[in-house]
Amino acid sequence: MPQLTFINNSTLPFGQNDGALWAGKGSNLRALAGFTASVGPLRIVVIPELAYSANNRLSIDPSDPRFVKPVPANRSKYSSPSNVFPYSIDIPWRFGDAALNRIYPGQSSVSFTSGPAEVGAATENEWWGPAIRNPIVMGDNAPGFPHAFLRTSHPVNTIVGRLDGRWIVGGLNESDYFDDDPSNDVRSLSALGITWKRNAASGLTLGFTRSVFSVASGYSDVPSHLFDALKNTGHPNARALTDSTIIPGSDQIFSLFARWALPRYGLESYVEWGRAEFPVSLRDFLKQPEHTRGYTTGIQWARQISDDAHFRVQAEITNVEQSTTYRFRPIGSFYTSRSVIQGYTNEGQVIGAGLGPGSSGQWIAGDYFKAGWQFGLTAGRLRFNNDAFFLLSYASRCGHDVTTFPGVRAGYSNSYFRLRADYASASRYNTFFQNKNSCESGGEGSDRSNKNLSVTLTTFGW
């Protein structure tokens, strides 16, 4: 099933959940194609992925020393100047100063199935949880990473209900635009996910996921971290902001989620609630359950209008900004880390919610479907890297980096292909926090307008 995605951004990088592609300013292209083959219990999937970005120069410099401190000498000039210390993460604001053109193994895998169990290795993206746009623990916002897996080949009926699960261990790679230390380019990731339903007909699904990422000496060291998902990582980020000590080790994200589907009413609702730390004790959890929390919640509702037409509404709210407990105890910032300085990323992009570290966002869409056609309106808001913003000496109520992106979308599909186009007119206020003026006095010098066009063509076979 070949797939081709073209994205164009007029002014700024913009986009998420596009796998290996980093959608920078200018033209961007993602192409996938390949084949699958099965021999008895053995299945092979080969779907490499091409990612191209024109990566044109921006009209604003995020590393401008008038607004942020210069990055340390060992960091790339393209690394995030807002995420050096204490909220360190590998999310370059630009991937170098030249066009990007790279081929990845993409959505490839080899697996062996025996009864209810399936074992194998893959580079394909993993999407865990019920979210449409911003899963807390794992999605396809970053390139897929090489990993081994053990998972159920189908849901298993047990005396306690219908269970499904997976366990993976893999290696995460640092981007080329983070630091100049080759000894820390690889990290490990060990993750475990389990879902439960009362029976096959039940509309309620409950789940648990945990992902532990750790410092590793190289890919040869990754297998030794297989059981990290079962180990205690401690509280590496529970230190004062003034404590600059780096203690290499492990960090984690875990979540609980629920999805409730009512097909009779065309309704689906879901929530994923996670934390970056386990509570110190039951007393601690009862007093401050929201400490280090992040969440995504959403809803879908569809209504039949005629025999070949229906209407659908989707909405989602995500928040991984610091909880209010920061006023009483040390706290980190979601997806960043004090012990794994590249944070929860692969190749410079966040593995979880694509809105980014310490951020929040809202999104809504309405679509009309008739025969093979789709027409819709969308709107969204993103407050980016808000935890890092509050570390700035001039942080005020007017200085947040906020993007609004109303848009339209349309699509057509038949038995041979599916074509979809999305257009958004994005307004980014106080881009990279470069507006020190108050709301009352104006100061629009860092505001930017970005036109985003995305077109995806999927064909069913060659």
What's the pLDDT score for residue 112? 97
Distance (Å, whole) CA 214 – CA 328: 28
Longest dimension (CA), the chain: 70
Ordered alpha helix ranges (H), 268-396: 282-287, 386-389
- Per-residue pLDDT tens over the stretch 259-284: 999 999 999 999 999 999 999 999 99
Distance (Å, whole) CA 70 – CA 68: 6
Q: Mean pLDDT over all residues of the chain?
A: 94
* Model confidence at 194: pLDDT above 70: yes
The residue-averaged pLDDT of 231-255 equals 92
Residues forming a β-bridge with 214 = 188, 250
* Model confidence at 462: pLDDT above 60: no
What's the pLDDT score for residue 64? 87
**Domains in the chain, number:** 1
19-42 in b/e burial notation, b at 16+ Cβ within 10 A?
bbbbbbbbbbbbbbbbeeeeeeee
**Structural domain of 432:** 3-459
Write the CATH number for 37. 2.40.160.130
What's the pLDDT score for residue 394? 83
Q: What are the residues whose beta carbons fall under 8 Å from the beta carbon of 317, sequence distance 6 or more?
A: 296, 297, 298, 361, 362, 363
Q: 286 burial class (0-12, 13-18, 19+ CB within 10 angstroms)? A: exposed
What's the pLDDT score for residue 398? 81
What's the pLDDT score for residue 245? 84
